[in-house]
Amino acid sequence: MEFLSLLQKKEILLFDGALGTELMLRGLKPRDVPDKWNLDRPEVIKEVFEQYYNAGSDIVQTATFRANGVALEKYGIENLIEDINKSSGEILRSVCPPDKCVIGDIGPSGEFLEPVGKASINDLKKGFQKQAKALAPFVDAWHLETFSDIREMKAAILAVQIESNKPIIASMTYQRTPKGYFTIMGNTLIDCVSELLNSGVAIIGSNCTLSSNDFFDLMKTMRAVAPKIPLSIKPNAGNPELENGKSIYKQPPEDFAKDIKKILEHDGQIVGGCCGTGPTHIKLLRKIIDELRGG
């Protein structure tokens, strides 16, 4: 279904929850490349996609967070960029109900731009463009997520816009400090939102790093800077705790849902979950959204 029409029709869209969390429950090891499971274990990827649609998600994103040219090169599988993205797009499209949408997921390269690192804007843009070209035939919209450098986000936006005219959700990730919200690269929330407003994206958002109770103030600040554009949020299920070498998210789904309800009552339009969230969280959010619409 056409994404912006779906948003206009429903007013509130329910995103999916975490992919990595679900794959770890199904045997993903720390050194595995999740994106490669689109080729090696497509039945598992399909199962996760299906469970999110069945839990009530209106929009579900491809399993391609690290499937850009630069990131895959670090794993030595950059030659699989087209196969991985095409496979994930085909799998998700095959299970997407006609009244819901497929979202093409693009995450950061994992490299730092000059002068902190050695990556160049042009190299990153080329890597994102290869990914976008492979995914474009399957998606209704894009989610550029978990970016912590506004320069890299803008390079990804330009790359996608070359290959597609579908709407873009641009989600940065922030840390909360006594002085406000900042990316790890020092970009302020206000500066990021201001720049994204001029980039041609359809939705501005934030995901990951922060727990759900941090997102209410973040969203209010975003709305003050961007009063008209739709906003998207995907918080973590609390703060991670290290147990036996693994990051565990212990926030009860009910508490997560209460925080999201508060956000929805104050103008959030696209909501879902990031690290530590799963189908249980999405089912609770589906119930809340349906009650808000009915009320």
Task: Look at residue 266 in the predicted model and tell me its pLDDT.
Answer: 80
Task: Look at residue 82 in the predicted model and tell me its pLDDT.
Answer: 98
Q: Is there a contact between 81 and 123 (Cβ–Cβ < 8 Å)?
A: no
The whole-angstrom separation of Cα 173 and Cα 182 is 8
Task: Look at residue 250 in the predicted model and tell me its pLDDT.
Answer: 84
Alpha helices by DSSP H, listed for the chain, are: 3-10, 20-25, 37-40, 42-55, 69-74, 81-95, 121-135, 150-163, 189-197, 215-225, 253-264, 279-294
Task: Look at residue 178 in the predicted model and tell me its pLDDT.
Answer: 95
Nearest to 52 by CA among 281, 290, 269: 281
Task: Look at residue 239 in the predicted model and tell me its pLDDT.
Answer: 87
Task: Look at residue 295 in the predicted model and tell me its pLDDT.
Answer: 56
Task: Look at residue 246 in the predicted model and tell me its pLDDT.
Answer: 74
Domains located in the chain, CATH noted: 3-294 (3.20.20.330)
pTM, whole model, 2 decimals?
0.97
Residue pLDDT tens, the chain, 295 long: 999 999 999 999 999 999 999 999 999 998 899 999 999 999 999 999 999 999 999 999 999 999 999 999 999 999 999 999 999 999 999 999 999 999 999 999 999 998 999 999 999 999 999 999 999 999 999 999 999 999 999 999 999 999 999 999 999 999 999 999 999 999 999 999 999 999 999 999 999 999 999 999 999 999 999 999 999 999 999 988 877 767 789 899 999 999 999 999 887 799 999 999 999 999 999 999 999 887 5
Q: Is there a contact between 134 and 195 (Cβ–Cβ < 8 Å)?
A: no
The whole-angstrom separation of Cα 48 and Cα 91 is 11
Contacts (Cβ under 8 Å, ≥6 apart) of 98: 1
Nearest to 102 by CA among 135, 75, 138, 151: 138
Strand partners, 104: 142
